Structure 1
Amino acid sequence: MLDDKHGRTFGFSEQPGAVCPAHAPKDHPKIPPARIGVLIANLGTPDNYDYWSMRRYLGEFLSDKRVIDYPSWKWQPLLQLIILTKRPFSSGAAYKSIWNEDKGESPLMTITKDQTAAIAAEMQQSFGDRVVVDFCMRYGNPSTKSKVQEMIDKGCQKILFFPLYPHYAGATSATANDQFFRALMEQPWQPAARTVAPYFDEPAYIDALAGSVERAYAAAEEKPELLVVSYHGMPQRYLMQGDPYHCQCQKTTRLLKERLGWDDSQIATTFQSVFGPEEWLRPYTVEEVARLAREEGKKRIAVIAPAFSADCIETLEEINEEIRESFEHAGGEQFTYIPCLNDEASHVAVLSDVIRNNLKGWIG
């Protein structure tokens, strides 16, 4: 590695195959063979569920202006003095209930590693060693900055950045892209860069979702009366400001309904994970499932969360525990949670095809 005058390291490294450019002086740094990087990004995860790990993670997440856009003078005292004093305990307990103790990491980390390995195998088969595949997290570790640096050190002169969110939202796709571009700003020799657009209406993605629904219904003791399609929520204000997330979610539900050959009485769209005093996108999942049981007499429902590419705290704890309890306390009897697509072969195929399409013009 070389250091510039500011002490920063940059991408001429002792990589296998690194050579001095033709006609360059003998003391010129060796440069690794040119490659293309595919950097997959997910939201993030705390390093552990103890108080300080949770506080660091929540502090980074809730300080992001894309997530909470209140003025700093108003928000930071509340965050630092009240929220981050109490919330790490409750969030830590929630993470502890789903933690992968065998591997010492959250399920999101485990699944993201498995997805990355499966996609890397697909890219190896298609392009050999010319494409490097890795993952990063917007919040927590491994950081976007560290993984961009690693890719540049490996000779990646072009990087395809893939926020692993089917739907675009400022608080997910946009902030992941922001962090990617911040990392590029620190590079003396910037790679060419592309970002991947949302894939919420890709036919293969809809097919994969439909397949997971069909398998879950076939395995259920009794067929659910209604499929609740629960998406992560956002303040209603963001929709009014032009964020397309709500519309993209509604389109996914419609395409899924059409693919399954259902009518409107068999499927419903809801939104979860409400935070703060503002009005968020409605109906709220936790309230709607209780209403369905109490007012409409629904005894059997299934819940799927298409906005998440991997099971995480919002699905494994919020849906499969909190929202399940809300339904059952209101009189519901059979609650079926349909897992995210995770590293299923059909999902890996979808993601790999999205990557191949976005690599066109860069590699044959």
Structure 2
Amino acid sequence: MTTIVSIANANSRAASRSERVGVLLVNLGTPDTADAKGVRAYLKEFLSDPRVIEDQGLIWQLILNGIILRSRPRTKARDYRKIWNVEKNESPLKTITRAQAEKLARAIADHDHVEVGWAMRYGNPSIRVGIDALMARGCDRLLAVPLYPQYSAATSATVCDEVFRVLATLRAQPTLRVSPPYYDDPTYIDAVAASIESHLATLRFKPDLIVASFHGMPRDYVEKGDPYEGQCVATVQALRKRLGLDEGKLLLTFQSRFGNAEWLQPYTDKTIERLARDGVRRLAVAMPGFAADCLETLEEIAQENAEIFRRNGGEAFAAIPCLNDSEAGIDVICQLVLRELQGWI
């Protein structure tokens, strides 16, 4: 009997050493370099995903390889250079996502059998690299955390697609969980609202109204059943309630469209242009669909749309930073992770 108990205790100790939990934060992605070559490689991977561009047929391949990948990389490389983290030679999205992972690891350090990693869906470090690194640290359970508050097939689902592709190549697969969207989570809503309030308090002007800008998507994706638009609406409704603002003071818009198809409306750039022409002189823009500042927030909103506003009569413009790796931003991720790890830790 003593021998059996000793063997059982030894097996338990061995299991505890190997049974670790891996948390993988995943954001959209970034070029490795701020030049045409780096942007071309990134765009090719991104735009070749059938979740992003659903019709990957011959016509799209001709457009992608014959037009987009010939001209767009140079233009987008210039945009990336405007916001590039020169010191680290990387995009702000990569800098911030790394910091989010490092701070999350410190926030949950009491759970000493949890390992935290990070990855990009497109570009580097890849999801495969992230999973391999966690498994090398002894993780046999994995929580994938898509850093998108609102779910869409073109973001959250494609993270799952890639995680599943990686796991399909493994003989010894980790047990998998995927965190859900958190578009109406009270911790997230409070954090975004508090961030808006604190940033507005630092401005030298009081905005006439606030625009909440989300990344757009083709209208037909929603008509086919994607819940993204509804979740964006729910986020803004919750923010209006928390901030005490009505529809006229906190507007919902969609940015970053391309191509000729109809995308979700109202469009951010067109709305900002109209507001300026209608006499709005002071404007603030928040971006509650982004967990970290990136090209779409730092260049498209803070620079391009600021210029649209001023060119059409606007006087004062503020782009409100994303939650990033702020204390409140890390608390949102931490609460999400701890909730989804229940039963594992």
TM category (shorter chain) comes to over 0.9
Please point out which of 98, 114, 138 is paired with 1:113: 98
3-state SS of paired residue (1:342): coil
> For 1:124, what is the secondary structure of its paired residue?
coil
Structure 1 segments (4+ residues) deviating >3 Å: none
- 2:233 is matched with 250
Which residue of structure 2 aligns with residue 6 of structure 1?
A: none
Where does the alignment leave 5 or more consecutive residues of structure 1 unmatched?
Answer: 1-21, 24-29
The one-letter code of the counterpart of 1:353 is Q
Equivalent in the alignment of 1:337: 319
Q: How does 1:20-59 map to 2 (within 5 A)?
A: 33-59=18-44
Letter in 1 for 2:207: P
2:18–2:140: 8 Å Cα contact kept in structure 1? no
Pairing 1:127-206 to 2, within 5 Å after superposition: 127-128=111-112, 130-206=113-189
Q: Residue 308 of structure 1 aligns with which residue?
A: 290
Aligned AA (1:268) = L
- 1:356 maps to which residue? 338
> What's the offset of the Cα at 1:111?
0.5
2:85 maps to: 100
What is the CA deviation profile of residues 11-55 of structure 1, one whole-angstrom value per residue up to 9, with x for unaligned ones?
A: xxxxxxxxxxx79xxxxxx99622000001000110001121111
Letter of the 1:241 partner, please give it.
K
Partner of residue 238 from structure 1, selected from 211, 221, 245? 221
Q: Distance in 1 between matches of 2:200 and 2:341?
A: 37
Write the distance in 1 (CA, Å) between the matches of 2:197 and 2:220: 35
Q: CA RMSD in A?
A: 1.5
1:72 corresponding residue in structure 2: 57
Report the equivalent of 1:4.
none
Q: What is the identity, as a one-letter code, of the residue corresponding to 2:106?
A: A
Counterpart position of 2:5:
none
After the TM superposition, which residues 75-90 of structure 1 pair with which residues of structure 2 at under 5 Å, given as runs?
A: 75-90=60-75
Task: Normalising by structure 1, report the TM-score.
Answer: 0.90
Shift of 1:78: 1.4
Residue correspondences, number: 334
Deviation at 1:93, TM superposition (A): 0.4
Distance 1:32 1:141, change over 3 A: farther
Does the residue aligned with 1:314 lie in a helix, a strand or coil? helix
3-state SS in 1 of match to 2:79? helix
User: What is the one-letter code of the residue matched to 2:205?
Assistant: E
Q: Distance in 2 between matches of 1:220 and 1:53?
A: 36
Instruction: Give the percent of matched residue pairs that are identical in Structure 1 and Structure 2.
Output: 47
Residue matched to 2:206: 223
- Asked whether the 8 Å contact 1:31–1:155 carries over to 2, the reply is no
In the alignment, is the contact (CA less than 8 A) between 2:48 and 2:56 conserved in 1? no
Rounded to whole Å, the distance in 2 between the matches of 1:78 and 1:216 is: 42
Unaligned segments of structure 2, at least 5 residues: 1-9
1:69-106 C-alpha deviation (Å, 9 max, x unpaired):
11322211211121101111001000011000011110
SS of equivalent residue, structure 1 residue 257: helix
